[in-house]
Amino acid sequence: MKKEVKLIKKLNGLLKQLKYPGFLHHFGPKKFKFAQHCFALLMKEVLKCSFRRCSNILRMLGIKTPTYSALCKSRKRIPIQLWNSLLRLTAGFNHNSIAVDSTGFSRNSPSFHYVKRINCKKPVKSYAKLSAFFDLPTGKFTALKVRVKPRHDMKDINYLLRMSSPTEKLFGDSAYDAESLHKKCFELNIQTLIKPRKNAKKGFYRRKQMKNYSDEKSHQRSLIESGFGSLKRKYGGSVSGKKFKSVQTEIYCKAIAHNLGLS
């Protein structure tokens, strides 16, 4: 109980730093502040339950919580800028070494019994893609990009660099070995430690960045895989939202809960 109260106070402090108003809506009755909505959305991911069950559990604990229908509507209305700001505050600033990678969250979570009954031999390829920046020393997510359709990993790298750029090193696998990324990082004075693709030797900026490359250092990139594993083990590897805004909010709540150390 005390942890929940401390979390609400912490969320209020973070929102004060962002200078956001207590209520995001202008019209209608102002019964619940945004911090209460945000707290309930975070607890839904921590408890891995539905909106109705999360609302009932929090009320039984004596915590003033919006109804399940209000929570379902509010997650679609919260702007992405607010989630990005909360993610940056919980991750901190001045990230020296950042790893980049992508993973997928299932958009349907069928049981083994159901898959066996329908005689499904191939898995259903319906997932939400997450590209993320991961701070290696602190083990926190610094920037996210969510998609509901599969795209190449390089499509999201410019957005991630705008959201949170490392000050020294950027780690990545061979999917990010592109001349455009090497050039951009060289201009920003960032050393890329990206595993080179096979037979990829051309590129002025690639050769410059490869002078300081070593396989021993680049293996630190695997820590982001541990971060993805921790995220999915604690908060689930699937999302229940049907629309893009709902899926995006769920994944951001998982990452923010991970940065806050909620388990």
First to last CA, the chain: 14
Phi and psi at residue 82, to the nearest 5°: -70, -40
More confident residue, 48 or 199: 48
Could you write out the DSSP letters of every residue in 18-81?
Answer: HT--S-S-SSS---S-HHHHHHHHHHHHHHT--HHHHHHHHHHTT-----HHHHHHHHHHS-HH
Q: pTM of the prediction?
A: 0.89
Token pair for 154: 């390089």
Check: CB of residue 150 under 8 Å from CB of residue 129.
yes
Question: What is the C-alpha separation between 170 and 185, in angstroms, rounded?
Answer: 8
Three-state DSSP class for 83?
helix
pLDDT tens-place string over residues 62-102: 888 999 999 998 888 889 999 999 999 999 888 999 999 99
Q: Looking at residue 1, what is its pLDDT?
A: 45
Q: What is the pLDDT of residues 96-143, one digit of tens each?
A: 999 999 999 988 766 667 777 777 766 556 789 999 999 999 999 999
Q: How many CB atoms lie within 10 A of CB 74?
A: 20
Q: Are strands 127-135 and 140-147 parallel, antiparallel or unpaired?
A: antiparallel
